[in-house]
């Protein structure tokens, strides 16, 4: 297990470096001089030249990348142009809200997905299966930002049960675990949970169907095991793949939250990304994407290791 884990970690290093390279290059594919992003609009020629040297923009690109990477490793992702504060602290503050949203959504989406998937796989081609499959396919086809709007229309505008936007009463106050705050989480979390619910349902349904058609299930039944015992074996066999899919989905929720956070003005990393894009705050854009992508890589690594821990077959391959 230790050998497998260390091999996986070594394999991640080039990925992390490439991710950093892509994030670095993002600023360089923007039309125009990257300096424009950090330069005040009325800057003189001398100031421009001075800043160019200060930021290293006069150096060759590989050297620039090296310098940028070196600073990034030490936690320095530059300063936000809009606020002047360090990018890393801005991102970290926002990521907490996104993690909270993603985990709440995961609890809803994964629970329903596992339930629907197991039922659909077990009672394949019955009406239960058809209902579960239809819910799943609707879930993966829904433009989630639109679903968010529709939920706001129903539960905020028409019924006036839940707040439409924000993350707490009175603007961006401190979070507390009471109903006054939690009610702000309900609609964004449900909206976020729909896609993972659909994907987990489809995956688990397919897995359950495959496992049930294997010979060993027949053997278990022939041995006289009760159906609940057989079910336990099905769950055990489906677990590694289901876990991998759920890990990936959690990563998508963390990294792809921009649309939902925009709809609900949820103050997470997605909303930060949105404002970075529209204020042309390139250091903030670059930093947010780097942090989110690294989260995603880390999560994938953890899922791989967890998968190998519960399924010994993976280590040998």
Partner 1 sequence: MSAMSDTALQAVPATKARGYWATVGRRIRRDKVSMACAVILLLIFASALLAPWLHLADPYQGSMIRRLRHIGTPGYPLGTDELGRDMLARLIYGGRLSLVIGILPVILAFGIGTSLGLVAGYVGGKLNTAIMRTVDVFYAFPSVLLAIAISGALGAGITNSIVSLTIVFVPQITRVAESVTTGVRNMDFVEAARASGAGPFTIMRVHMLGNVLGPIFVYATGLISVSMILAAGLSFLGLGTKPPEPEWGLMLNTLRTAIYVNPWVAALPGAMIFAVSICFNLLSDGMRSAMDIRN
The residue ranges that bind partner 1 (CB under 8 A) are 14-15, 18-19, 22-23, 26-27, 29-31, 137-138, 140-147, 149-150, 152-153, 157-158, 199, 202-203, 206, 244-245, 248, 251-252, 254-256, 258-259, 262-263, 273-274, 276-278, 282, 285, 289, 292-293, 296-297, 300
80 contacts 164 by C-beta, under 8 angstroms: no
Closest distance to partner 1 from the beta carbon of 72 (Å): 16
Q: Which is nearer to partner 1, 4 or 252 (CB)?
A: 252
Q: Which is nearer to partner 1, 78 or 230 (CB)?
A: 78
Q: Which is nearer to partner 1, 88 or 254 (CB)?
A: 254
Closest distance to partner 1 from the beta carbon of 273 (Å): 7
Closest distance to partner 1 from the beta carbon of 118 (Å): 15
Residue with the two structure tokens 């080039």:
14
Closest distance to partner 1 from the beta carbon of 50 (Å): 25
Q: Which is nearer to partner 1, 5 or 262 (CB)?
A: 262
Cα 108 to chain center, whole Å? 15
Q: Which residues contact 230 (CB under 8 A, 6 or more apart)?
A: 217, 220, 221
The three-point CA angle 144-152-270 to 5° equals 50
139 to each of 84, 112, 142, 196, how far by Cα in Å? 40, 12, 6, 8
Q: Which is nearer to partner 1, 88 or 292 (CB)?
A: 292
CA distance 196 to 209: 20
Cα R_g (the chain), whole angstroms: 24
DSSP-derived letter for residue 153 is I
Closest distance to partner 1 from the beta carbon of 25 (Å): 9
């Amino acid at each position: 297990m230790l050998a497998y884990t260390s091999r996986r970690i070594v394999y991640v290093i080039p990925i992390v470096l490439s991710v950093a390279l892509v994030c670095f290059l993002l600023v360089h594919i923007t039309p125009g001089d990257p300096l424009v992003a950090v330069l005040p609009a009325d800057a003189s020629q001398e100031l421009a030249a001075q800043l160019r040297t200060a930021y290293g923009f006069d150096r060759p690109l590989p050297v620039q990348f090296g310098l940028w990477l070196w600073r990034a490793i030490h936690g320095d992702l530059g300063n936000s142009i809009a606020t002047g504060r360090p990018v890393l602290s801005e991102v970290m503050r926002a990521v907490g809200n996104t993690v909270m949203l993603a985990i709440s959504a995961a609890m809803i989406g994964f629970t329903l997905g596992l339930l629907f998937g197991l039922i659909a796989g077990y009672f394949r081609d019955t009406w239960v299966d058809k209902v579960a499959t239809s819910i799943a396919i609707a879930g993966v086809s829904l433009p989630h930002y639109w679903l968010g709007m529709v939920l706001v229309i129903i539960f905020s505008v028409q019924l006036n049960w839940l707040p439409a936007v924000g993350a707490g009463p009175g603007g961006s106050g401190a979070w507390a675990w009471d109903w006054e705050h939690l009610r702000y989480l309900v609609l964004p979390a449900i909206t976020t949970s729909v896609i993972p619910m659909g994907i987990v349902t489809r995956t688990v349904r397919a897995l359950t169907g495959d496992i049930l058609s294997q010979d060993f299930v027949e053997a278990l039944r022939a041995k006289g095991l009760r159906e609940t015992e057989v079910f336990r074996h099905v769950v055990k066999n489906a677990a590694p793949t289901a876990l991998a899919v759920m890990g990936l989905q959690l990563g998508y929720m963390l990294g792809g939250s921009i649309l939902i956070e925009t709809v609900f003005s949820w103050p997470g990393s997605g909303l930060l990304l949105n404002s970075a894009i529209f204020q042309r705050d390139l250091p903030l854009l670059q930093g947010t994407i780097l942090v989110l992508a690294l989260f995603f890589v880390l999560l994938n690594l953890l899922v791989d290791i967890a998968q190998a821990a519960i399924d010994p077959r993976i280590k040998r391959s």
